Structure 1
Amino acid sequence: MAFFCPYISVNSNYLIKGSLLAATLAVTTATAAAGEISTLRQSVDYALSNNRMLAANAQSVEQASAGIADATGRLLPRVDLSTGVARSNAPGDYFGMKLNQRSITAADFNPAVMNNPGYINNYQSRVGVTMPLYQGGALWAGRKLAEHRAEASLYGHSFMRQQVVFQVISAYARVRQSQAQITAMQRAVTAADKRYRDTQEMQKRGMLIMSDVMDANVHQLRTTLKLEEAKNSFASSKEMLERVMGLNGDVTLNTEEDPQLKMPVLALQEAINHGLANRPDLKAVEEQYLASSAAVDQSRASFLPHVNLVAAQEWNASTFGVKNRNTMVGATVSMNIFAGGSDRAKHRAAQAESVSLEYKSADMKQQIHNEIGQAWRQLAESRLRYESESEALKQSEESLRIKSLRFEQGLAKTSDLLDAQVQADSARVAAIRAKYDLTVAEAALLLATGTLDEGVIQ
């Protein structure tokens, strides 16, 4: 199965990391500092700086970046410094310490002394250097593995930022929708109250019967209930928006501006090509695949020789101090001959993960294709619905006006008037919903193509 992905250098990794983390962790708006957020752009900026899950994910990016430094450090010499003291009366230790302290004398070769030398103190300070010359390619493969994992983490964080932007836009749109519905239902309740009073007066004058008054009362009660539902919906939507933004009570949220997005005009195939080229989550999987290939190389190194240079310098004395220097330089060669099959098992596991990620990448491309197609069609449907519902609202309001005039002239029944009122109220609510559904559909298509950020907000 063919698989292609452009390689990204460590330098670009740090560049991407710097821009992403700066956008995520250092976004500060003037309005937030003033203690009030009133626009969608301000809400998004605040969320990118304060969303808790996004902040937690930023630490995963930092962990992955630290992995590069760790892998790079393993390629460099290791220097260890130690100091300590030992006291022994073992003959072998005694003569060894004496020799290292360069203090042995002819009297020390007396058999009585050699067999029962007494105690000796040895203060030893040591500097050791180990330099890996060849590890079968494991260290370089480990560095590539760390780089690609860091890249994958960055791309994953980028996609999570886009998801947060989408969540804020969606929640903000629902808050504005609920606010508009409250206003519409307040008008409807006012109208229903008036209808009820008018029917009562007309019933008293003998122009209507009691059932007309009952119908008007039922309409009034149902309209009042819908107003309460709209208020509850507003409270829930605002709570959701506050949670996505990560509000901590340090600012006041006033959703006063209607959301507007900059939407590019894209044909379906253009949108699909855009998504395949820009989706950060797809790039993250491709980087994971490259990391798995490096892991295969790293596991293969277990079957090759490992060569290290070693050097040490130590000082030994009967009292604390840097005296009697001894130096050692050498090389070690080791090779795994048999480890019970564990190394071969690790190699097989790394190969299986690489194949798995190759399949996953191909499947994600198909998933992105489907997601963009669905989002593109949903946006077209939302635009048509908004136009249709807007026109339906105009028609229902005109119908209500005509029937109201006919009712006042005694040419229409109360039930006809109430039906027209209900239809107008429903059309108004549907038009409001269609308006904000269109905004959410626009954001969904931008998210599907991997181009949703704070810059798309007008």
Structure 2
Amino acid sequence: MKISIRIALTTAALAAVSYLPAQEVGKALTLDEAIAVTLTDNPAMKAAAYEERAAQQQRRAAIGLRMPQINLTGAYAYLGKDIGFDLNGMKTPVKDLTGKILGSGLISPELIPSIQGLLNPMMNADWFLTIQDQSLGFVGGEVTMPIWLGGKINAANRAARLQERSATEQGNQTRNALISELVERYFGLALATQVVAVREQVVEGVRHHLEDARKLEQNGMIAQSELLYVEFKMAEAERELANARLQRETVSSALSNTLGRENDWQPLTAMFLIGDIEELAYYQDMAEARNPILSQVSLTRQLAQENVRAQRSAFLPQVVAMGGGMFYNYQVAGFVPRWAVGVGVNFKIFDGLNREYKYSAAKQTASRVGALQNKASQDIAVLVEKLYNQMLNYRNQITSIEASLNFAEEYLRMKNAAFKEGMASASDLIDAELNLAGVRAERLQAAYNFDLTLAQLLEAAGISDEFPAYARRMDARVILFDQK
């Protein structure tokens, strides 16, 4: 049974294609193929993918806050002068002291010249003791490791994970919106194609009636005014056909924009009508669980709470382990240590109430987002109910229109028979023809509205990917202008 229905759907789709003139048939594709192309080539999906990858990298960057920070440093300096102790001021006291000792008679006079020979170079030397040369340089490294920052690192990592999930939900929202846009333009092109077929059929029928009217007018069987009326309707039908073809070109360009590929597209999947629809509660439950907007609002609320925790960490002490050493040095004083390790603690006592105000602002933001979350949930529930009721209304419209279609077809048949018997005028027959075309176009429009509203309903419920499955359901009924 399922196979036979699929064969029928394919046959109906191919029949729809056959109504186009040869020059208007472009690249044919099914709805599933159109969705696959859109989700691959549409620039919006590519942008969403870049956003998700950026969020992933931000999450990985946040993990690095827990890791030690290792730096390699090097420096060279030229000081204004050497660093040391200047003892030249002690030369005079020392010189006086040595003179007194040498002149005291305690030392043999023979030794005094030798002693003075030894002391003179010392007394003439520069008594500046250099500790550090004025030119120095070094190469070394340092390591810092956060031990406790008041919970700021944990909050940053949780926030990064939430932002990554938010980017994913943003991608899902873009995906669902694109599927709805594709349905609008894909079936919009299917509708425009069917309307062109309707208008072509009308033009062909009116042209046939015009030929008959001209013959009847030449034979004096109808008044000239009736011929003029048929000619007027012929011009009107040709104008509407031209407008329908222009509309088809416009929608085809819009579809190419959604697909991300330029071509003269031809839909293979026909518009359809579903007999059995799930209850409203099903779509509302799905929206509550899977709607990307609600998910993003929930994640935004969690982000606001993490910001509260991050601001609260400013009131707590921060503890960091650190260490460093020199690998190479140039003329650095030997008493300078070559390595050092330690632990640093920073506890801010007062900062002008900056922390207090930021913490209070973060709490207010969290409360605001919470209120917005409740409103968003209610808005989505109302939207789902509105779309659900609209969808049922369009389905009921099709049922009513099909009753009118039966009447219009029978009325045209009666007028055609009466015209052949000379019991009806050509204008009556044309009016019946146009009435049938109008009912067929109205039925197609209602089917298009049904499919578009279904796509919007699934988007609100967060399950747009399931739209093609609706078209393949057992109770899915193809809607074409010449089929019931």
TM over 0.5: yes
2: CA distance, partners of 1:392 / 1:125: 92
- Given the superposition, is the C-alpha separation of residues 221 and 301 from structure 1 closer, same or farther in structure 2, using an over 3 Å criterion? same
Q: Matched residue of 1:329: which SS? A: strand
Deviations 1:335-363 (A, max 9, x none): 22232333223222221221111111101
Shift of 1:394: 2.6
Alignment RMSD (CA, Å): 2.6
Q: What is aligned with 2:18?
A: none
SS in 1 for 2:136: strand
CA displacement at 1:166 relative to structure 2: 1.1
* Match in the other structure for 2:135: 120
Measure, in 1, the Cα distance between the counterparts of 2:461 and 2:273: 15
- Name the structure 1 match of 2:215: 201
After superposing the two structures, state which structure 1 stretch, 407-416 or 35-44, moved more.
Answer: 35-44
**Counterpart residue number, 1:69:** 60
For residues 206-238 of structure 1, what are the alpha-carbon distances to aligned partners after superposition, in whole Å with 9 as ceiling and x for unaligned?
Answer: 110011011101111111111111111111111
Question: Does residue 238 in structure 1 map to residue 229 in structure 2?
Answer: no
Q: Aligned-pair distance for 1:197?
A: 1.6
Asked whether 1:166 is paired with 2:180, we answer: yes
Count residues with an aligned counterpart: 404
Asked if 2 retains the 8 angstrom alpha-carbon contact of 1:193 and 1:220, the reply is yes
Deviation of 1:44 (Å): 0.7
Structure 2 CA distance for partners of 1:400 and 1:273, relative to 1, 3 Å? same
The one of 428, 435, 446 equivalent to 1:434 is: 446
Contact 1:263–1:456 at 8 Å: present in 2 too? no
Q: Provide the residue aligned with 2:170 in structure 1.
A: 156
Match of 2:47? 56
Match of 1:347 among 347, 352, 359: 359
What is the Cα deviation at residue 257 of structure 1? 2.9
Establish whether residue 192 from structure 1 lines up as the match of residue 206 from structure 2: yes
The 5-angstrom pairing of residues 232-381 of structure 1 reads: 232-247=246-261, 249=262, 253-258=265-270, 265-318=277-330, 326-381=338-393
Q: Deviations over 1:287-333 (max 9, x none)?
A: 1111110110001111111111111111342289xxx9811101111
Measure the CA separation in 2 of the matches of 1:45 and 1:232. 27
The CA deviation string for residues 24-46 of structure 1, in whole angstroms up to 9 with x for no partner, is: xxxxxxxxxxx966111111111
Larger Cα Rg: Structure 1 or Structure 2? 2
Distance 1:246 1:204 in 2: 57
2: distance between equivalents of 1:454 and 1:44?
A: 11
The answer (yes or no) to whether the contact 1:48–1:161 under 8 Å persists in 2 is yes
Runs of 4+ in 1 over 6 A off after TM superposition: 261-264
Alpha-carbon distance in structure 1 between the residues aligned to 2:209 and 2:83: 112
1:438-449 equivalence runs, <5 A: 438-449=450-461
Q: Are 1:90 and 2:90 matched, yes or no? A: no
Picking from 442, 464, 477, the partner of 1:452 is 464
> In 1, distance between residues paired with 2:430 and 2:338?
105
Deviation at 1:133, TM superposition (A): 0.9
- 1:187-213 Cα deviation digits (max 9, x unpaired): 101111111121111111111001101
Cα distance between partner residues in 2 of 1:93 and 1:44: 81
Whole-angstrom distance in 2 between the partners of 1:276 and 1:231: 42
Distance 1:416 1:232 in 2: 29
- Change over 3 Å in CA distance of 1:257–1:274 after alignment to 2: closer
What secondary structure is seen at the aligned counterpart in 1 of 2:128? Answer: helix
2:85 and 2:76 map into 1 onto residues whose CA distance is 13
**Is the CA contact 1:382–1:438 (under 8 Å) kept in the aligned structure 2?**
yes
Q: How far apart in 1 are the matches of 2:85 and 2:443?
A: 96
Partner of 2:139, secondary structure, is strand
Partner of 1:29: none
Distance 2:406 2:280 in 1: 32
CA distance in 2, matches of 1:218, 1:163: 44
Letter in 1 for 2:136: N
SS of residue matched to 1:402 = helix
TM-score (norm 1): 0.82
1:115-165 Cα offsets, whole Å, 9 max, x none, are 9x864232x121211111111111111111111121122112112111111
Partner of 1:133: 147
**Which secondary structure does the structure 2 equivalent of 1:74 belong to?**
helix
Whether the 8 Å contact between 1:261 and 1:442 is mirrored in structure 2 is no
Describe the SS at the equivalent of 2:349.
Answer: coil
Where does residue 430 of structure 2 map in the other structure?
418
Give yes or no for contact 2:323–2:340 (8 Å, CA) kept in 1. yes
For 1:184 and 1:339, how far apart are their aligned partners in 2? 77
Gaps of 5+ in 2: 1-25, 87-124, 473-484
Q: Distance in 1 between matches of 2:252 and 2:270?
A: 15
- Among candidates 154, 160, 173, match of residue 146 of structure 1: 160
The question of whether the paired residues in 2 share the 8 Å contact of 1:262 and 1:456 is answered with no
Determine the structure 2 residue equivalent to 1:5: none
Give distance in 1, aligned partners of 2:328 and 2:228. 108
Choose which of 232, 252, 258 in structure 2 pairs with 1:218. Answer: 232
Cα separation, 2, equivalents of 1:93 and 1:220: 112
- 1:19-34 equivalences under 5 Å are none
Q: Which amino acid aligns with 1:153?
A: A
5+ unaligned residues in a row in structure 1: which ranges? 1-34, 96-108
In 1: Cα distance, 2:272 partner to 2:342 partner: 70
Query: What code does the residue aligned with 1:182 have?
Result: V
- Please give the secondary structure, in 2, of the residue aligned with 1:254: strand
For 1:262 and 1:385, locate their aligned partners in 2 and report how far apart those are by CA, in whole Å: 13
Separation of aligned partners in 2, 1:197 and 1:259: 35
In structure 2, what residue type is equivalent to 1:192?
V
Matches of 2:391 and 2:434 in 1, distance apart?
28
- What amino acid does structure 2 have at the position aligned with 1:362? N
Query: What is the TM-score normalised by the length of structure 2?
Result: 0.78
Paired AA for residue 79 in structure 1: I
